[in-house]
Amino acid sequence: MRVAIIGGSGYAGGELMRLLLKHPQTEIKYVTSRKLTGKPVTVVNPNLDGLTSLKYVMPNIDLVTKDVDVVFLATPHGESQTLVPGLLEKGVRIIDLSADFRLKNLKAYEYFYGQHSCPSLCNDAVYGMPEVNKEKIKTARIIAVPGCHASSAIYGLLPVVKAGLIKPFPIIVDSKTGSTGAGSSPSEADHHPVRANVVRPYGLTGHRHTAEIEETIAPHFDNADKEIMKVSFSAHAVDMVRGILSTIHVFFKQKPEDEKPIYKAFREFIKDNPFLRFVKKQAGVFRLPDPKTIVGTNYCDIGFEVDPLSDRLVIVTALDNLVKGAAGNAIQCYNIIQGLPETTGLDQIGIFPI
């Protein structure tokens, strides 16, 4: 398959190149950057030195669709929707890493992101979460790759929601993220002396990913619970370059006598999904998921603890925002549309210690 990456000079685009250059069934034909057109991609991604002679080109639709099967969009939200209609006319399949086509609820889209320029296409798009939508991804023309925070929340919540174990309210998700989550454009908030050593609350309320978490888990509650289901999401910027750790607080409908039903719920969900790992150990330093152990991989690690003093279940997930939270998940979807094993080109083992 021949692919193009629009938005190749950003962090997610760089990660797509890192992974696709070693993908056995793929040739990267074009990588775009308006600011760096004509420059080698290694100017931005020195980790690719000696591995590619690709140079950035302009994101011109006629050019980037020539002899190309799949176009990855690693562009900011709001920009993908300006490109998608033209790309569809060229007959390519689109894997969009932005938020533009993730939501079916257009009112929620408008509330969180503003006006959509091609709302009718949102219905054509498939939410690109292989663990939820594998069959639909196979034939989708537009795949909307989930947000990084949203993925970390959904992988933790869905197993226990599907098993009918938890109340629809309150559901509290508290996420910590590394600096690459903010993208590669310089900003005052991400200047090194200001960003280093922080544990900075941001998006404490009204975070955009709340909508896609709710839209994905809601159908798995029974009808009465669906109406009152509510996710309370907050995020913090912490002193990491990559990685997300989400701590999820939920409450049992009826507290089980032991942990067996909870283990069962997670094992059921994880068993057919090669990139979800259950991490809950009795000994060692890393007894529960930790971003430190998954950096550079497409894994999402999931664990839990039951509060002995209340009805609370605390679920913890860890993933790399640029891999399972973006480029890796996009390639997992790409493998599915090609009928390849989901793990093709995604078998990296984490670097430890890092």
- Closer Cβ to ligand NAP, 84 or 279, answer by number: 84
* Residue 158 tokens, joined: 């869905």
Q: What are the residues whose beta carbons fall under 8 Å from the beta carbon of 187, sequence distance 6 or more? A: none
Q: Does 128 bind ligand NAP (CB under 6 A)?
A: no
* Cβ count within 10 A of residue 312: 16
- Closer Cβ to ligand NAP, 102 or 220, answer by number: 102
Report the C-alpha gap between 232 and 185 in whole angstroms.
Answer: 28
Please identify, among the stretches 178-186, 209-217, 253-261, 271-279, the one whose residues bind ligand NAP according to the rule CB under 6 A. Answer: 178-186
Smallest gap from Cβ 344 to ligand NAP, in A, equals 21
Which of 4, 7, 87, 156 contacts ligand NAP by CB under 6 A? 7
Smallest gap from Cβ 208 to ligand NAP, in A, equals 9
Which of 53, 120, 139, 185 contacts ligand NAP by CB under 6 A? 185
> Is the CB of residue 333 less than 8 Å from the CB of residue 311?
no
Which of 6, 153, 158, 294 contacts ligand NAP by CB under 6 A? 6
| Sequence-separated contacts (24+) of 203-207 with Cβ below 8 Å | 203/233, 203/234, 203/235, 204/234, 204/235, 205/232, 205/234, 206/112, 207/149, 207/233, 207/234, 207/235
Nearest to 31 by CA among 272, 21, 186: 21
* Helices of type H across the chain: 11-20, 61-64, 80-89, 106-113, 130-139, 148-162, 192-195, 209-217, 223-228, 260-270, 328-338
Smallest gap from Cβ 188 to ligand NAP, in A, equals 16
- Closer Cβ to ligand NAP, 90 or 167, answer by number: 90
Report the C-alpha gap between 169 and 224 in whole angstroms.
Answer: 12
Smallest gap from Cβ 221 to ligand NAP, in A, equals 26
Q: Does 127 bind ligand NAP (CB under 6 A)?
A: no
Element (H, E) at 31: strand 27-32
Q: Does 190 bind ligand NAP (CB under 6 A)?
A: no
- CA 37 to chain CA centroid, Å, is 28
Q: Does 77 bind ligand NAP (CB under 6 A)?
A: yes
Q: Does 5 bind ligand NAP (CB under 6 A)?
A: no
Q: Which of 122, 148, 300, 333 is catalytic?
A: 148
Q: Is 300 a catalytic residue?
A: no
Q: Which of residues 14-43 bind ligand NAP (CB under 6 A)?
A: 32-36
Helices 148-162/130-139 angle, 10° precision: 110
Smallest gap from Cβ 56 to ligand NAP, in A, equals 8
Smallest gap from Cβ 84 to ligand NAP, in A, equals 12
Q: What's the chain's length in residues?
A: 354
Which of 81, 175, 180, 317 contacts ligand NAP by CB under 6 A? 180
Smallest gap from Cβ 181 to ligand NAP, in A, equals 4
Pairing of strands 231-238, 171-177: parallel
- Mark 285-324 with x for binding to ligand NAP (rule: CB under 6 A) and - for no binding: ------------------------------------xx--
Q: Does 175 bind ligand NAP (CB under 6 A)?
A: no
Q: Does 45 bind ligand NAP (CB under 6 A)?
A: no
Closest residue (Cβ) to ligand NAP? 10
Which of 13, 128, 168, 328 contacts ligand NAP by CB under 6 A? 13
* Cβ count within 10 A of residue 48: 16
> Is the CB of residue 184 less than 8 Å from the CB of residue 9?
yes
Nearest to 131 by CA among 333, 311, 291: 333
List, edge to edge, every strand of the sheet that includes 27-32: 56-57, 27-32, 2-6, 70-73, 93-96, 142-144, 126-127
Query: Active-site residue numbers?
Result: 148
Residues that bind ligand NAP (CB under 6 A): 6-13, 32-36, 59, 74-77, 79, 97-98, 147-148, 180-181, 183-185, 321-322, 325-326
